[in-house]
Chain A
Amino acid sequence: MRPRTIQGNLEGLEATFPIFAVTSDVPDVDRTYHLALKATREALVEARLEQMPMGFRLGVCVGTTVACQLNDIPFYRSYRETGQPPLEPVYRFIAGSLAERLAEATHAEGPVLTVVNACSSGTDAAGVACSWLRANLCDAVIVGGADELSKIPSSGFYSLSVKSPALCKPFDRDRQGLNLGEGAGIAIFERQDSAERRGIASTLEVVGFGASADGHHLTAPHPDGLGIEQAIRLALGDAGIVPEEIDFINAHGTATRENDRIEGNALARVFGPQLRVVSTKGYTGHTLGAAGGIELVFTALALREGWIPANIGFENQDPEIPFSPLQQITPVKKNFALSTSLAFGGNNAAVVLCRREEKV
């Protein structure tokens, strides 16, 4: 982690709050798109889809929060001051949404959708992809989420008093809030019959998805966590498994007081006190619309590689949360894992991944 050069939409970003910035060579202009494109290209290579077969139906479903808004601060300042701002940011915006631009860049001609469900966008995109594939609307889907650091959500979270002045400590007793981050997490979901036709085998499978709405509050989860519990139970039901079959949970775990207490208790109700939980926000910060995509990829890699990363930042158990997250790298024992997301608007989403012993 290191502070980025502050310009454009990052102008004036408070120096007192840590941020997790991508330090590789990614342009500042259209940054979310470039982050997403970088991850998409890597995912397509791994899926051996750099060259698509003739007639291949590739869909794109990605989540974002920053890239779906015409939110260019210098543009708006110029509008306020001169009434004649340069229109370049508007032209860029109307050229296409994040998913549309990725579809154009990858020559995808299947369905295209940008999910804007705030912080659960990436996980909800996974749910859309599952629906498309089940409906046979396409053969494969570029799925995940991407977001760049921006002054606007940064100020918004500041106004909500949920930003931590120190590095975030998910599920810790003394957690003070979230750190913002940026990035992209992209996976390729493909129908089994399509993969077989292409001669592709994988040990990973998406087996369940669930989503729910709290219908309670715009910015706070339901105090009893009923919505996230419902989403988890729906995902398990969709996968046709019982909670005991889940090896570990990659939790939303933003390190805010409310999220971790409410999500933690919901997880404990579903999985019992022996559950194994990690929040990977300690590595990335809260990447908003990208979070579900990045955490989907973390979960898939943990299953594939056979080890779960440690919940960094955690030191002391919170008496209001009935478990401690994993504090060191831990071997995977079972074949199923769950990734959860909670969002503004009371949206909750959960996805179940499976590791097959043999490639299918």
Chain B
Amino acid sequence: MAAEAVPAIETMTYREALRLAMREELERDPSVFLMGEEIGVFQGSYKVTGDLFEQFGPERVMETPISEEGFVGAAVGAAMSGLRPVVEIMTLNFIVVAMDQVVNHAAKVRYMFGNKVGCPMVIRTPNGAGNQLTAQHSQSFEGWFANVPGLKVVAPATPSDARGLLKAAIRDDDPVLVIENLQLYKAKGEVDTSVDGAVEIGKAKVVREGTDISLVGHSFAVTRALHVAEKLQADHGISAEVVDLRSLRPLDMETVAASVSKTNRALCVEEGWASYGVTAEIASRISLACFDDLDAPVGRVGMAEVPMPYAKSLEDAALPHEDKILAAALEVCGA
């Protein structure tokens, strides 16, 4: 097409943006196919695949039994054979039963076999909590995977990034985990559908400019941080900058360090447990990269160090709600 693309800004939900990305990639590349539980007739447990089964049929949108170790491993084999499987794990919690295939196999194929074969596959799966889903259905341990060389881990926080990062992940020649989020599925945002929109993996983004403190997070924590930034400004006159990591491995520390060097204070936020978590990694790196610029120790907020309880009062107490982030930000600011 010779004509300049006219911007076509559409407002859509995060789940619609993910579906759009899969539709576009299924149309673009015949080697792409989807696998997962209930992604066909059922349209996805969280309705992300929606009508893709109707459009592309059972060969391209392949329903699997409840058999994560089996079908994640099958995706590894298919990827080694030149296909590009996109696997849905119903929620991040269930990936643990396929951990062997993800960590011991997918992540190792290329290196262990001396680059004679690769593994271009995507696993997309939501983390997150907040619906009283309790201990076995509310976890956010994506940091475990960001620990593993051979894997890449991205975690979009907006519909536009959901589309763009998923497209980039599908085109990547290595195994990529795309961490979606249960709370974000219904979030709306603008997506420019006139452009390809793939988002380069490994690039963080300053999503709110500020001068007094950097709030650094990924996934749903970015949404919380943006709300907290508004409150800091309105109620305390503190100007917070918000950095959306977007990618955990690789990690864009240049953008984080540039922000903290400007604001001189940092608070790292995540939905999961902070101990040994993503915030631990970011805080450590900020301390090394920005030691001379810091006016206060780097702060961290995660969920309470308990298995998620059921009772609403307890669940609320466990989650890294905005009041906790706000209090931590004020502490870092000495306010």
A binds B: no
Q: Which residues of B contact A (CB under 8 A)?
A: none
Q: Which residues of A contact B (CB under 8 A)?
A: none
